[in-house]
Structure 1
Amino acid sequence: MIARSWWATATPDGARRYEEHFRATVVPDLRAVPGFKTAYLMRHDEGDIVRIHVLTLWESMTAITDFAGNPPDAAVVEPAARSALLTFNTTVDHYSTTVWS
């Protein structure tokens, strides 16, 4: 299993808007991709800034490439997401999961 990790920042209102976008658009789109397993949207509030971390789990790098294209480390950030965020990484990190329960 491969974990795909991405980071962004937002205002509290932007984080709320991003969460709405994530629930309404991102998750349904991901569920349609063969090899997608699950997604986590996490936030860490730091006063006027919210750090956002998205972690998705995939069966293989092939499934990720089918989703993200080539190169697979390019972040997929739709215009609706961009408008809610202050900053975001344009690339992602991939991790091979070695233990899970």
Structure 2
Amino acid sequence: MIARAWKASATPEGARRYAEHFDGAVLPELRRQGGCRAAYLLTRESGELVEIQVITHWESLETIRAFAGDDLERAVVEPAARAVLTGFERTVAHFTVTEGQVA
């Protein structure tokens, strides 16, 4: 399994609006993709801004390629998301998930 991690920042209002975008647009798209096994939206207040991190878990790099295209390191950030963020990383990081889960 591969974890794909991306970071952004927003005002508190922008973070709220990004969470709405994540629930209403990102999650449905990931469900349609096939190969995406989990998606997490993490937030943390940092001064006047909110740090945002999105972590998705994928079956393989091939399933990520079907979502992101040939440039696997390029972040997929829709215009609706860009409109509510104060900044975001243009690239993502991929990690091999080597340990299990607690449940």
Written as runs of structure 1 = structure 2, the 5 A alignment for 1:82-101 is 82-101=82-101
Using the alignment, how far apart are the partners of 1:64 and 1:29 within structure 2? Answer: 13
Matched, 1:77 2:74: no
Matched, 1:11 2:11: yes
1:14-43 C-alpha deviation (Å, 9 max, x unpaired)? 000000000000000000112110100000
How many angstroms does 1:47 deviate by?
2.7
How many angstroms does 1:51 deviate by?
0.3
Written as runs of structure 1 = structure 2, the 5 A alignment for 1:1-101 is 1-101=1-101
Q: What SS does the aligned partner of 2:33 have?
A: coil
Q: Percent identity?
A: 50
**TM-score when scaled to structure 2?**
0.96
**TM-score when scaled to structure 1?**
0.98
Report the count of equivalent residues: 101
Q: Which runs of 5+ in 2 are unaligned?
A: none
How many angstroms does 1:90 deviate by?
0.5
